[in-house]
Structure 1
Amino acid sequence: MTVLVVLLVLLLTDPTVSQSTDDVNNTNISNHCRGRAPTSNFIRNRNSTFDEMRRRLLSERVLYARAQDLSGGDSVFAAAQCRNYLSVEQCVACFDVAFSELAKCIVSNGAYVFLDECYVRYESFDDFYDNPNATVDGASTQLSSCGNVSTNRSLAEYTQSVDEFLSDIRDATPKTSNLYVANIRQVTSGNATVYAIAQCAENINPAICGTCMSTAYSKLKECLPNTEGRFFDMVCFARYSETPFFSANQTIDITNILRGRHSSKVATIGGAIGGVVLLFLIFVSWLAYRRLKKNSKTEQEDLQGTLNYNYKDLQLATNNFSEENMLGRGGFGEVFKAIIDDNNVVAVKKLQIHSAKAKEEFENEVMLISNVHHRNLLRLLGWSSEGSNLLLVLEYMPNGSLDRFLWGAKRGTLNWNQRYEIILGIAKGLAHLHNEFHIKIIHRDIKSSNILLSHDFKAKIADFGLARFHPEDETHVNTKFVGTLGYAAPEYVLCGTLSDKVDTYSFGIVILEIISGRRCTDMNSERPSMEYLLEHAWKLYEKKIHIKFIDETLGLNQHELEHVMKIIEIALLCTQSPVSKRPTVSEVLLMLQDGQSLGKRMLTRPTFLHNQDRRILIGSSKNSISVPMLCLLLAGIKLGWSLEMNI
């Protein structure tokens, strides 16, 4: 009710007079509404989170607050942060103006607003708490603006002086305890005074802050020789101006923070050049260091903010890895539910060490997922390595794995909208691995049991033990097959040919499982041919009756039926051979999001791999083809003749 009353007052008055003190600028710089139309319950939950944040700002006397409301299945997560030079009352005044703007987003389940003195954001997911750049559409939230007044002093001298000042602000901010700097500097012989601040989101680590500050510096530098500039992002904010916007007694001395920086430029450049080697040495040293570590966990964040846990603490948190706490069992270990760090529920993955392979899997998974952050990829929270005891601490997914809802105990409980959102989430996670991370990563083991579901049934790709980097200058690499038969692409199983299209194929199989509610390796006993899922889907599609492929537990209207049949066609497109016929996951994502049809693409018959014997048959049992020749066909190399293959 508090927020609703505040909103009513704001709508009846000029927002600029809602400030509790003078000289506080609550001008709306930028705001954005996105997502789909929310329910009335979502709106109520959103209002309650804003009510709670406002209460916390006032009662706890803080400038940063978060809140959430998960009631009725409509999850809302929100955060607000004010500039550190404000009083609490000024912060709340800015918050009220921000809420009056966000309340206008009546057709969106996610939105943010940037004001000069604060920013406020709400979403239907909580990933942005730890990764402020997380968005539904992957769009950037960066914004910069420059004043329209140029200095009347010496341009060259002014530009150089302010540039050096902004450079100092950039370097100092990530090194402060609260990731915030406010400073004043006299520049040029014209005796100009420049005010500058920089502030990073309160819940990120210094490394992420430093990256954002480098971008902010580059953008503000472009404003010179103008007397004012601003940079906005979910991660950080920076501003400079000749007009005072905070008091002179609110500055922070950065002299000691910057001491020695200028004298070590050569070493810094050398360190940057050798950064990859240094990270490798840090990781190797970490393995040896853990054997000597006695404390429960280290405060170091040498792997992107993840924590190093003590084995005995995790053993206690899982009740000695008891059956009652077990969440699942995989090829390389078991997963347990645990409660750590003041009642935080997590999942602990215990790897079984029977060979050097398991240790390699562990090191691979730690190195990969400690650096990859996306709302559709399972987040690594920490690890433990003591002798042969290798543990990963992962975010807990209360709804478990997708397969439980397709053919397990909860079969038939997912409606079509939930299944479609899961398909979309998997595509977004894979697209990030393939194209949006700084190096291409191929998962190699996409399957329904490796797709975990959050409390609101958002999909997260898990189990990166088999993932590997892919060289950017190569279309594919040849390697030994590891993965799961039934989900793995035929060219990879038979020939060891690995490319991102292997993940595309596996994704197509998972889509078929989601739509049919059947396991890909289960045979269709209703037909004499005992077809596996992909073959069954293809034959129904050939006869234009693939409507029969849809899970009978789904009660669909006509519009939904048409949508599902289109998704079946996209899944079959993903499973085509040769490899060149398959789209990339990014192309699939566009088809899914935009509701595109296949257009001029013609579907070709997939290569069917019969898992029980992996025989290669052509036309009839009397004909056969060698594996090397088959590999050429699967790669798309024309041999001058055509064959219909049943593999």
Structure 2
Amino acid sequence: MAALLLLLLLALLCLCGGAAGDPRTAVARQECAPGGAVSGPALADNFVPAMDDLNSNVSANGFGTSAVGTTAGLNPNAVFGLGQCYRDLSPVDCKLCFAEVRSLLPKCYPSAGGRLYLDGCFGRYANYSFFSETLGPDDAVTCGVVGGGGAGGGNYTGANPRGFADAVRAALANVTGVAASAAVPGGGDGYAVGSASAGGATAFALAQCWGSLNATACGQCLRAAAAAAARCAPAAAEGRALYTGCYLRYSTRLFWNLNSTAGSGSSSKCKFDSISLSQFRKVTTVSSVLLVVKVFEKAEIQTA
């Protein structure tokens, strides 16, 4: 009886863990603005409350902006912040992802600006209002799997490279159109996922515009990003366009979360509303299982 109960409890724990979403905290790129702030201490005084406000807004809505130090007009030490969780992340996963942004983005200090692209969210700060920007000189494309070991990491090894390249272009075009049409400043998703197949090859794609952009600006960013990312195929199994106003990714595998939305719910079928769920499991799993097993063993002895 005790052994059977132990197996059932372990199976339940595995099911809860397996259903959890992925906050996708892998770093795709970090870029710090050239040159330092006019006043490092003044920038720091504004940076901390700006990040606090930004974190609150992103945690509540999946997207947010903040501005501190702007009351005196043009201030070279002002801090404007923007944060975006990609819309397949649950509220819990969004908090986990943006916690990583808060941890890594300050590495750009004392630069007057910096941006950080994770595979599940984005964060940026600057000393001016950049919220309506779509394209810029720091836009970049990465071909291959993040952490794939440099050049050649994540090569496409399928049987039909030409078919894969066609599938990539079709998938990117599909998500670009859908995401742009959904973009509404301050409240629209500007997000889409999808797949396409050609010649026996399949490509999956995700598009996300920042929530401050309208449909026209979102489309402008994603079309440029799609054209750039498509050039990674067919050589690379994955490609990312990391642009001023948007993020775009394709892959040979489905990489987004299926069972979550940014607005409500949880990415796990076992709904523990806490960002420290994994830590809680580590502390309680073994002790809870052993306690229950001991109770049943004692009951068995008493009834024997």
**Where on the TM-score scale, by shorter chain, does this alignment land: which range?**
0.5 to 0.7
Counting only pairs closer than 5 Å after superposition, residues 449-598 of structure 1 correspond to structure 2 as: none
Equivalent of residue 173 in structure 2, options 167, 175, 178: 167
Cα drift, residue 248 of structure 1 = 4.2
- For residues 193 and 229 of structure 2, what CA distance do their matches in structure 1 show? 16
Paired letter, 1:49: A
The corresponding residue for 1:221 is 230
More relative contact order, 1 or 2 (CA 8 Å, 6+ apart): 2
Judging changes above 3 Å, is the alpha-carbon distance between structure 1 residues 250 and 242 closer, same or farther for their aligned structure 2 residues? farther
Judging changes above 3 Å, is the alpha-carbon distance between structure 1 residues 76 and 156 closer, same or farther for their aligned structure 2 residues? closer
- For residues 167 and 131 of structure 2, what CA distance do their matches in structure 1 show? 36
TM-score, length of structure 2 as denominator length: 0.66
The corresponding residue for 2:50 is 49
The corresponding residue for 2:284 is none
- For residues 22 and 259 of structure 2, what CA distance do their matches in structure 1 show? 15
Paired letter, 2:56: R
**Pair 1:152 & 2:152 matched:** no
Task: Please tell me whether the aligned partners of residues 167 and 196 of structure 2 are also in contact (alpha carbons under 8 angstroms).
Answer: no
State the SS of the aligned residue for 1:81.
strand
Equivalent of residue 238 in structure 1, options 248, 251, 262: 248
- For residues 198 and 45 of structure 1, what CA distance do their matches in structure 2 show? 32
Task: Please tell me whether the aligned partners of residues 49 and 67 of structure 1 are also in contact (alpha carbons under 8 angstroms).
Answer: yes
The corresponding residue for 2:105 is 102
Paired letter, 1:30: R
Judging changes above 3 Å, is the alpha-carbon distance between structure 1 residues 57 and 163 closer, same or farther for their aligned structure 2 residues? closer
Counting only pairs closer than 5 Å after superposition, residues 272-283 of structure 1 correspond to structure 2 as: none
The corresponding residue for 2:68 is 69
**Paired residue total:** 221
Cα drift, residue 241 of structure 1 = 1.0
The corresponding residue for 2:300 is none
Cα drift, residue 22 of structure 1 = 5.5
**Identical counterparts, % of pairs:** 25
Cα drift, residue 45 of structure 1 = 1.3
**Pair 1:143 & 2:154 matched:** no
Once structures 1 and 2 are overlaid, which stretch shifts more, 154-163 or 199-208?
154-163
The corresponding residue for 2:133 is 131
State the SS of the aligned residue for 2:254.
coil
Judging changes above 3 Å, is the alpha-carbon distance between structure 1 residues 160 and 48 closer, same or farther for their aligned structure 2 residues? same
Cα drift, residue 172 of structure 1 = 2.8
Judging changes above 3 Å, is the alpha-carbon distance between structure 1 residues 153 and 65 closer, same or farther for their aligned structure 2 residues? same
Residue by residue over 1:455-497, the C-alpha shift from the partner in whole angstroms, topping out at 9 and shown as x without a partner, is: xxxxxxxxxxxxxxxxxxxxxxxxxxxxxxxxxxxxxxxxxxx
Task: Please tell me whether the aligned partners of residues 181 and 197 of structure 1 are also in contact (alpha carbons under 8 angstroms).
Answer: yes
Cα drift, residue 161 of structure 1 = 2.8
The corresponding residue for 1:181 is 192
Task: Please tell me whether the aligned partners of residues 184 and 248 of structure 1 are also in contact (alpha carbons under 8 angstroms).
Answer: no
Task: Please tell me whether the aligned partners of residues 22 and 93 of structure 2 are also in contact (alpha carbons under 8 angstroms).
Answer: no
Residue by residue over 1:368-419, the C-alpha shift from the partner in whole angstroms, topping out at 9 and shown as x without a partner, is: xxxxxxxxxxxxxxxxxxxxxxxxxxxxxxxxxxxxxxxxxxxxxxxxxxxx
Pairwise CA RMSD: 2.4
Once structures 1 and 2 are overlaid, which stretch shifts more, 86-95 or 152-161?
152-161
TM-score, length of structure 1 as denominator length: 0.32
- For residues 84 and 256 of structure 2, what CA distance do their matches in structure 1 show? 17
Residue by residue over 1:524-543, the C-alpha shift from the partner in whole angstroms, topping out at 9 and shown as x without a partner, is: xxxxxxxxxxxxxxxxxxxx
State the SS of the aligned residue for 2:107.
coil
The corresponding residue for 1:212 is 221
Residue by residue over 1:10-56, the C-alpha shift from the partner in whole angstroms, topping out at 9 and shown as x without a partner, is: xxxxxxxxxxx553321222222224233313202111111112122
Query: Which structure has the greater CA radius of gyration?
Result: 1
Counting only pairs closer than 5 Å after superposition, residues 215-364 of structure 1 correspond to structure 2 as: 215-225=224-234, 226-248=236-258
- For residues 150 and 210 of structure 1, what CA distance do their matches in structure 2 show? 28
Task: Please tell me whether the aligned partners of residues 143 and 240 of structure 2 are also in contact (alpha carbons under 8 angstroms).
Answer: yes
Judging changes above 3 Å, is the alpha-carbon distance between structure 1 residues 247 and 119 closer, same or farther for their aligned structure 2 residues? closer
Structure 2, unpaired ranges of 5+: 1-19, 145-153, 184-188, 262-304
Residue by residue over 1:65-115, the C-alpha shift from the partner in whole angstroms, topping out at 9 and shown as x without a partner, is: 111211786421111011110012211222121222221223212111111
